[in-house]
Amino acid sequence: MGYKRTPVPALTCPFQPGEHCRDCDCRRRCFFNFLSPASLKRFRAQRQMRRYKTHQYIFQEGEPPQGLFILCVGDVKMTKSDQRGRELTLAYFSCGDLVGEVPFLGGEPYCASAETLRESVVCFLPKELVDCLAGQEPELYRRLLRRVSRLVCRTMDRAFGFALRSAEARLADFLLAIKAPPAPAAALPCPGRPEYSRREIAQNLGLSPETVIRSLSSFQRRGWVRLAGKAVEIRDRPALLRMALEQ
């Protein structure tokens, strides 16, 4: 909220991929890694590589979708806010993820905003390119349908949790879902985000920062976690899992 939106510079692929991307680590993670050589050639020729600064919007709520976004490097959060400035974090995205595909497929304006959390590189596919690839690769829309189905299921689980689960149960589930950063890849530096501020956790769970702080302190007193700045070290995973499963 409140960050100035600036023009996004175009750039060539920063990872110097080999012929047909065979030697690029992006291919291993990318949603489009199934493309045939002919489709991949078109993909590379017509995609638009863009670099975003920290806290820069990729798109904002209410804008019409013009294509698909793939997050190549960086971290992005999807948020929704109201007129009073209250914000709810809907999802986090990292390397290889699609961003904003549901409104694009539905032909509706974006219902949330996508904001970078650190300097990021994004690949943009204009609608004309997506339609062309879909005509050549029937697998494309099947994969998109599976992805949207998973998003719907996760959204339903999240709505259930907001309605019926306690604050501590939601927090325990969030902590268990945070993965330790993988070993850095040579071509694709995406370490993940193992640390979140108390405010970020609160926005993700629909809680107040004060509630998050009290719950974390309670977990620490019970010996379930150890707090060190933003970092939360899990000490008793079974206990957190039992808490996460409580209604």
Distance CA 88, CA 75 (A): 17
Q: Give the separation between CA 95 and CA 122, rounded to whole angstroms.
A: 9
**CA distances from residue 145 to 101, 149, 151, 159, 233 in whole angstroms, order as listed:** 10, 6, 10, 21, 36
- According to the model, what pLDDT value does residue 213 have? 93
pLDDT score of 92: 85
**165-244: CATH architecture:** Orthogonal Bundle (1.10)
DSSP class of 49 = E
Domain ranges across the chain: 10-161, 165-244
Give me the CATH topology for the region 10-161: Jelly Rolls (2.60.120)
Which pLDDT score is estimated for 188? Answer: 43
Residue 6's pLDDT is 54
User: At residue 56, what are phi and psi to the nearest 5 degrees?
Assistant: -115, 140
Encode the chain (247 residues) as per-residue pLDDT tens digits: 444 555 555 555 544 444 445 555 555 667 888 888 899 889 888 999 999 999 999 999 999 999 999 998 888 999 998 888 788 888 888 888 899 999 999 999 999 999 998 899 999 999 999 999 999 998 998 999 998 898 888 888 888 888 888 999 999 988 888 755 544 444 444 545 557 888 888 888 888 899 999 999 999 999 999 998 888 888 999 999 999 887 6
pLDDT at 17: 42
Query: Is the fold of 10-161 the same as that of 165-244?
Result: no
